[in-house]
């Protein structure tokens, strides 16, 4: 585990040290910033799909987005209970983030927190503000196989390639986890299986905006892959901020113990 | 535009966000059928992740003091809406409108804070039910 962390940290540092600053990008005739290798340059801080984009470089409106039921493919017979988990009064089923467990990839994508992208010719690094998650994604030939020994994780194993000016990120190796932030008030939680395959397709539509298509391919639950179409917007004035979930997590799942509330904290 | 007005304008922008959950579920923790409105003195402010908390001492007719705890938005949400941690100061007299915790404790979602001079800010998460 320690070895993996060291490798990940090393990759992160290497990527950051060679990253192209957005200010140094050249723009093409459509105003699309281009990296030194001529690829569309996604480097920068972004308000992802978890915001209602204002166009204002300083502000944006955070809003968790859920995957849209109308966009979903038909559910396989008997698989509905794998997708929808009834409210169980168990935080590990109803919402594991309430005890600071991770979003997982499919919920992280539309999380209402900033994210910083660092693009180099060989890899893409995404730093998520929420819970400090990161992805180090190697570029390579299209549709190449993933490593054969991928272990299931919250964020999975991602690889990337270019299809003309479209950035494609292909992810497998996701453990069975929440699909999104669907909650008890919506009727329960929503989950995906460990057969989940996610394809993200991104395209810069101008200097400030990108289209963000997410293909959900979960053959254990759905009859066929289906697509959610979102967007993200650059926020040049933003920085990703510290987000330590464990710092002051209170009243987990509505249970406010004396240790959580005013008797212990306000009197200090 | 004064800083106070800017703060209020930025805070009011929070109002237009639609319900959805960020870190926790409002419905799991708070009861939208039990609105709370208290006036008192800010006792403590915890501008920390994953959600801010602040505490208000409320004195009743007999002079007995009850401390209420209010949970608000994540600090990043407020910072990006132009609401700094200094907006709430220990000793300020405030009215807080929110919704009571389901466990019946003196905790609530701290949706709206109104100061003695009439200014108000919305400290709630966008997913929280918004008090009037």
**Digit-coded pLDDT (tens) for B26-63:** 766 788 899 999 999 999 999 999 989 999 999 999 99
pLDDT at A51: 92
From chain B, the residues in CB contact with A64 under 8 A are 20-22, 127
Low-confidence ranges of chain A (pLDDT < 50): 1-23, 262-268
> Which position has the higher pLDDT, A88 or B14?
A88
Contacts of B44 in chain A (CB under 8 A): 265-266, 268
A251 touches chain B (CB under 8 A): yes
In tens, the pLDDT along B76-110 reads: 888 888 889 999 999 999 999 999 987 788 888 88
Interchain CB contact of B47 with A (< 8 Å): no
CB pairs under 8 A between A and B: 131
Domain ranges for chain B, please list them. Answer: 3-18+28-122
DSSP state, residue A221 = T
Q: Does A76 touch chain B (CB under 8 A)?
A: no
CATH number of the structural domain B3-18+28-122: 2.40.50.140
Across chain B, what does the average pLDDT equal?
79
Q: In chain B, how many H helices and how many E strands?
A: 3, 6
B:17-36 residues touching chain A, CB 8 A cutoff: 17-18, 20-30
Nearest chain B residue to A98 by CA distance is: B24
Q: What is the pLDDT of residue A3?
A: 45
Residue B118 Cα, gap to closest chain A Cα (Å)? 25
pLDDT of the residue at B107: 86
Q: What is the spatial distance between Cα B83 and Cα B76, in angstroms, rounded to a whole number?
A: 10
Name the residue among B13, B18, B69 with its Cβ closest to that of A59: B13
* Chain A contact for B45 (CB, 8 A cutoff): no
Q: Which of B10, B55, B105 sits opposite A59 (nearest CB)?
A: B10
pLDDT of residue B106: 87
Q: Minimal Cα distance from B128: which residue of A?
A: A63
Q: Which positions in chain B touch A96 (Cβ < 8 Å)?
A: none
**ipTM of this predicted complex?**
0.73
On chain A, the residues whose CB falls within 8 A of the CB of B46 are 248, 265
Chain A hits for B109, CB-CB cut-off 8 Å, are: none
* Bridge partners, residue A232, by sequence: A210
User: CA–CA distance from B66 to each of A129, A264, B37, B114 (Å)?
Assistant: 36, 14, 13, 19
In this complex, is the C-beta atom of A97 within 8 Å of any C-beta atom belonging to chain B? yes
Q: Does A244 touch chain B (CB under 8 A)?
A: yes
- Across the interface, of A95, A184, A262, the residue whose CB is closest to B69 is A262
A61 to chain B, any CB pair closer than 8 A? The answer is yes
What is the number of alpha carbons within 13 Å of residue A149 lying toward its C-beta? Answer: 0
Residue B48 CB-density burial (10 A; 0-12 exposed, 13-18 middle, 19+ buried): middle
Measured between alpha carbons, how far is A44 from A25 in angstroms, rounded to an integer?
A: 11
- Interface subset of A 14-43, CB within 8 angstroms of B: none
List Cβ<8 Å contacts ≥24 apart for A116-120.
A116/A44, A116/A45, A116/A46, A116/A240, A117/A42, A117/A43, A117/A44, A117/A45, A117/A46, A118/A15, A118/A16, A118/A19, A118/A43, A119/A19, A119/A20, A119/A35, A119/A39, A119/A41, A119/A42, A119/A43, A120/A15, A120/A18, A120/A19, A120/A20
* Residue B25 to residue A113, Cβ atoms within 8 A: no
Read off the pLDDT band of B14 (50, 70, 90): very low
- pTM, full prediction: 0.82
pLDDT at B101: 84
């Amino acid at each position: 585990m320690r070895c993996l962390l060291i490798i990940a940290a090393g990759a992160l540092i290497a990527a950051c040290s060679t990253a192209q600053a957005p200010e140094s990008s050249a723009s093409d005739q459509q105003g699309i910033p281009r990296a030194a290798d001529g690829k569309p340059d996604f480097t920068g801080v972004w308000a992802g799909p978890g915001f209602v984009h204002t166009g204002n470089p300083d502000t944006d409106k955070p809003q968790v987005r859920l995957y849209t039921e109308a966009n979903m493919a038909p559910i396989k017979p008997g698989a509905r209970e794998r997708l929808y988990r009834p409210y169980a009064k168990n935080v590990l089923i109803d919402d594991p983030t309430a005890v600071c467990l991770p979003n997982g990839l499919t919920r992280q994508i539309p999380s209402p927190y900033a994210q910083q992208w660092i693009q180099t010719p060989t890899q893409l690094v995404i730093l998520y503000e929420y819970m400090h998650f990161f992805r180090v994604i190697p570029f390579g030939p299209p549709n190449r196989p993933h490593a054969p020994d991928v272990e299931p994780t919250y964020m999975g194993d991602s690889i990337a390639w270019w299809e003309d000016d479209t950035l494609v990120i292909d992810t497998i190796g996701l453990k069975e986890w929440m699909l999104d932030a669907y909650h008890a008030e919506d009727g329960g939680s929503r989950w995906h299986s460990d057969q989940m395959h996610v394809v993200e397709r991104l395209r810069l539509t101008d200097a400030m905006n990108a289209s963000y298509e997410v293909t959900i391919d979960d053959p254990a639950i759905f009859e066929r892959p289906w697509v959610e179409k979102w967007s993200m917007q650059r926020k040049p004035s933003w920085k990703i901020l510290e987000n330590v979930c464990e710092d002051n997590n209170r009243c987990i799942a509505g249970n406010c113990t004396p240790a959580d509330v005013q008797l212990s904290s306000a009197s200090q | 535009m004064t800083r106070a007005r800017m703060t209020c304008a930025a805070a009011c922008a929070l109002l237009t966000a639609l319900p959805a959950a960020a870190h926790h579920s409002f419905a799991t923790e708070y009861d939208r059928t039990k609105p709370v409105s208290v006036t008192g003195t800010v006792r403590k402010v915890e501008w920390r992740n994953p959600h801010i908390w602040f505490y208000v001492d409320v004195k009743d007719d007999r002079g007995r003091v009850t401390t209420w705890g209010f949970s608000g938005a994540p600090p990043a949400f407020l910072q990006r809406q132009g609401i700094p941690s200094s907006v709430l100061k220990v000793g300020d007299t405030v009215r807080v409108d929110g919704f009571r915790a389901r466990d019946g404790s003196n905790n609530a979602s701290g949706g709206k804070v109104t100061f003695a001079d009439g200014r108000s800010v919305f400290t709630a998460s966008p997913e929280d039910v918004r008090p009037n």
